[in-house]
Amino acid sequence: MEPYEEKELEESLEWMRKQFQVLTDEIKIPDSLRADILKKQLEQMEAEEMHKQSARSVPSKIRRPKIIAFPRKTIAGLAACAVIAGTSLVSYQLGRNNGEKLAALENTSGSPSLAAAEDAPENAAYDEVDDLLIEDPDMGTPELAASPAPAAAPQAEAPEAFSGEEDAAPRMLQSPSEAGTGGTETTEGPSDSPAKKEQAFIVAEAKEISRLASYLPDALPEDLMETALFEDQENLSVSYLSSDYSRQIQLTLRDFSQQIPVPVDPSQPETYDLRLYPQPYTDSVPEELAAQVNDPLFRVEDITLSLVEARVFDPNEGSQYRGNFRILFSDGVVATLNVTGVSAEEIYEIIEQMVPGE
């Protein structure tokens, strides 16, 4: 902006601020937004969450029927506000139609259904675009500017091991909560396409206000698109899918900080290495190890490329990579990955992205 334009803008602002003073002075905050009232709502919400968690830990003999629903209770008129905030805050359905089809895909043996391939992701469903992009085209595509103000998860100091090359010693990942403070910069979207930019923008917004979303990777293989992002109080689920449906990553993040599950010991490959068994997920795995081999949990600091290769591999050398495993971060968040058609190297790079600071 030219200096004279800046001066003109400043003068306009000064003049307008004086005009608005008479209106702004009269705006009084309603009683419903007093801190003590909102604090009470918060306490009630936390009490309800604790009650739900203790109900979950009831032994199976007397386990109550499972209710799958978003919490919809209303506590007076004001509780509607708390419910809206406490339940699914994200309508980031970048592909509502594809979301249903994706659910159908996940229920199959893993092969994409031809019926579900009607709408390519690129047509789909960027129906819901941020209003800053659609309603006000003058604003342009928002850049993911580095911003000191917005919150982000504490970011790890980049460990030396992340040089992009595999060293002789296995590389370890550092959990974000073990790290000191770092930068809060957001990163650019993975590619220049408008759809990818929109995705990156929405994910960046989610990261700023959602603790679980702060674990989402910033960079993905070019051909993978986020097709659905869904969050409620306990879970955040994201699907990444290629346009031909041959490559898929299903990522679920969940907070287990109240009851942290037990990870496997990486020095015991028989508890997780699928290559040791001629037919994983079947009778070739000893019964006492089946639960671990089928769904192992690794501490994030134990994750190495070798370990990912033990879980995500191509059994017939030429067919398709498949695999699954879980990662335990030190703050109790567990990430579950189910992979089809994506190599171990690509998965390892994605996991690196999930650790803030990388």
Burial profile 15-29: b = 16 or more Cβ within 10 angstroms, e = fewer: eeeeeeeeeeeeeee
DSSP code, position 64: P
218 and 165 Cβ atoms separated by less than 8 Å: no
- Closer residue to another protein in complex, CB, 208/314: 208
Minimum CB separation from another protein for residue 265, in Å? Answer: 31
CA dihedral 109, 329, 149, 81 (to 10 degrees): 60
- Closer residue to another protein in complex, CB, 38/172: 38
Minimum CB separation from another protein for residue 289, in Å? Answer: 38
Q: How far apart, in whole angstroms, are the C-alpha atoms of residue 270 and residue 275? A: 9
- Closer residue to another protein in complex, CB, 35/169: 35
- Closer residue to another protein in complex, CB, 24/107: 24
Q: How far apart, in whole angstroms, are the C-alpha atoms of residue 236 and residue 355? A: 16
Beta-sheet pairing, 333-340 with 248-255: antiparallel
248 and 241 Cβ atoms separated by less than 8 Å: yes
DSSP code, position 356: T
- Closer residue to another protein in complex, CB, 42/103: 42
Rg (CA), the chain: 24
Minimum CB separation from another protein for residue 203, in Å? Answer: 13
Minimum CB separation from another protein for residue 254, in Å? Answer: 16
- Closer residue to another protein in complex, CB, 205/309: 205
Minimum CB separation from another protein for residue 97, in Å? Answer: 19
Minimum CB separation from another protein for residue 226, in Å? Answer: 18
